[in-house]
Amino acid sequence: MKLHLFNISDFKVDGGAMFGVIPKVLWSRAYPADDKNLINLALRSLIVETDGHVILVDTGWGNKQSEKFFRYAYLQGGEGLTEGLANRGYSPEDITDVFLTHLHADHCGGGLKRNEHGDGIKTTFPKAKYHVSRAQWECAVQNNIREEDSYPPENILPMKESGQLNLIEKEAELFSGFSFRMCYGHTPGLMIPVIKYGNKTIVYTGDLIPTLAHIPLIWNMSYDIESLKTIVEKEKILKEALENNYILVFQHDEKYECCTLAMTDKGIRAHERFAFESI
Ligand SMILES: [Zn+2]
């Protein structure tokens, strides 16, 4: 198995929205905000090469939409999606599987792009299957006023029209050493990859634990549809990770890529923090 992690792009979100009910005096110590109350987030994608598959986990925002669409995303830095892949020796044609944790715009937008004439949308990875949970797919196509801005139809529907979509029903080992947990608190059918790498287990925590600062059980995003479910789901994976010394990998933390866990008098917290390369 080969693994790579790269940052597609940084972006910014409101710090209050990112930490829900936690007062700013507390969260801003753990994760500093700028003078507009914005915090900087990374957007890391994972490449997993195993058993003849080259799997890309999440695809970033993409660039299909207008400047207006991106005006509050403040995109900056990072390697870019196809550039980040190229820097590690992969072309878009090499990707056999795109695994989308969920369909919020910052996670799936890069999987589809405008065609050469600019009059249609096509898949960025022409030979890949696009894996999405059925629960998430149904949520995204039915849409709802609460998540409306997160599901622009041009990010979603062409995936099905391409014939490349694979809907996943339940938890499984999808590829050799690559399984995932199905979660419902952030959004229905959020899939969290759990990867066996030699004698180590890596959890790509996605939007379940977006940054190291989100390890405490009630430090959750106000984007979550059902906070109480997020708490239960986080507690389960954190306990398992603590007991088995799993490595957590953060998709959105601007500073920390990975950590292990330790039990403290306040509950489970980050222990060692380190770069993905050192795994
Ligand atoms: Zn999300």
Express each pLDDT in 175-229 by its tens digit. Answer: 999 999 999 999 999 999 999 999 999 999 999 999 999 999 999 999 999 999 9
User: What is the largest distance, in Å, between two alpha-carbon atoms of the chain?
Assistant: 59
The H or E element that residue 277 is part of is none
Compute the average pLDDT of residues 142-153: 87
More confident residue, 144 or 64: 64
Residue 233 CA to ligand 1 center (angstroms) comes to: 15
* Å from CA of 200 to ligand 1 middle: 26
- Cα 267 vs. chain centroid, distance in angstroms? 25
pLDDT tens digits along 81-128: 999 999 999 999 999 999 999 999 999 999 999 998 888 999 999 999
What does the block give as tokens for 101? 């944790």
pLDDT tens string 18-73: 999 999 999 999 999 999 999 999 999 999 999 999 999 999 999 999 999 999 99
The CA 117 to ligand 1 mean position distance, Å, reads 31
Confidence band, pLDDT 50/70/90 cuts, at residue 245: very high
53 alpha carbon – ligand 1 mean position (Å):
26
pLDDT at 143 over 80: no
Mean pLDDT (the chain) is: 97
Structure tokens at 68: 């207006």
Per-residue pLDDT, 40: 98
Residue 149 has pLDDT above 90, yes or no: no
pLDDT of residue 216: 98
Contacts of 142 (CB under 8 A, 6+ apart): none
- 10 Å CB burial of residue 129 (0-12, 13-18, 19+) is middle
| pLDDT given for residue 146 in this prediction | 85
- Taking only the tens place, the pLDDT of each residue in 154-176 is 999 999 999 999 999 999 999 99
Residue by residue, DSSP assigns 68-136 as: TTTTTT--B-S--HHHHHHTTT--GGG--EEE-S--SHHHHGGGEEE-TTSSSEEESSTT-EEEEEHHH
**Residue that has been written with the tokens 């994608």 in this structure:** 45
Q: Ligand 1 centroid vs 265 CA: distance in angstroms?
A: 30
pLDDT at 235 over 90: yes
Per-residue pLDDT, 157: 95
The arithmetic mean of pLDDT across residues 231-255, rounded, is 98
Q: pTM here?
A: 0.97
Residues within 5 Å of ion ligand 1, judged at the Cβ atom: 104, 207
What is the predicted pLDDT for the residue at 62? Answer: 97
Residue 85: beta bridge partners? none
88 CA to middle of ligand 1, Å?
26
Give the residue from 77, 61, 43, 88 showing the smallest Cα distance to 204.
43
Q: For residues 249 and 205, is the Cβ–Cβ distance under 8 A?
A: yes
CB proximity list for 102: less than 8 A, separation 6 or greater = 108, 132, 133, 136, 186, 187, 189, 190, 191, 206, 207
Dig out the tokens for 6 from the structure.
């790269």
The pLDDT value recorded for residue 119 is 86
What local confidence, expressed as pLDDT, does residue 110 receive?
98
pLDDT surpassing 90 at residue 148 = no
Pair 64, 154: CB distance under 8 Å: yes
For every residue of 177-232, DSSP letters joined together read TEEEEEE-SSSTTEEEEEEEETTEEEEE-TTTS-SGGG-STT---TT-S-HHHHHH
Question: 187 C-alpha to center of ligand 1: Å?
Answer: 7
